[in-house]
Amino acid sequence: MKVVIAVIKPFKIEEVTEALNTLGIPGVTITEVRGHGRQKGHTEIYRGAEYRIEYIPKIRLEIVAPDDQIDGIVDTVVEHARTGTIGDGKYWVVPVERAGRIRTGELDDDSL
């Protein structure tokens, strides 16, 4: 098992999760987050004054899945989150040592 973590533009969340559901994923957690990448936020004019927005709102997706589904999940996220402009986001894939379904006690792949 691995977990795919992706940070994407908020307006892309519906398109990405629809595509992931079509692909077939066991589950997903999404969180509203804020962060910055290489540009370290950006500046915006608001009511005539310039504000520096250091942490830009993003959506973080977490999908735990069996190893053989990971490539498909990553490809789907990249295809549907991409606009080609800065701030499109990032993903990283992390091994999962152990997982369980709390209701039944099933473990690992059976629990997903």
Ligand X SMILES: Nc1ncnc2c1ncn2[C@@H]1O[C@H](COP(=O)(O)OP(=O)(O)OP(=O)(O)O)[C@@H](O)[C@H]1O
Distance CA 82, CA 8 (A): 9
Element spanning 7, H or E: strand 2-8
Q: Indicate which single residue of 39, 43, 85, 104 sits in contact with Mg ion (rule: CB under 5 A).
A: 39
Distance CA 53, CA 38 (A): 14
Which residues on adjacent β-strands are paired with residue 33? 58
Residue facing Mg ion at closest CB distance: 37
| 22-41: contacts with ligand X (CB under 6 A) | 35-39
Q: Indicate which single residue of 90, 101, 107, 109 sits in contact with ligand X (rule: CB under 6 A).
A: 90
Q: How many residues bind ligand X (CB under 6 A)?
A: 13
Contact positions vs ligand X (CB under 6 A): 7, 35-39, 56, 58, 86-90
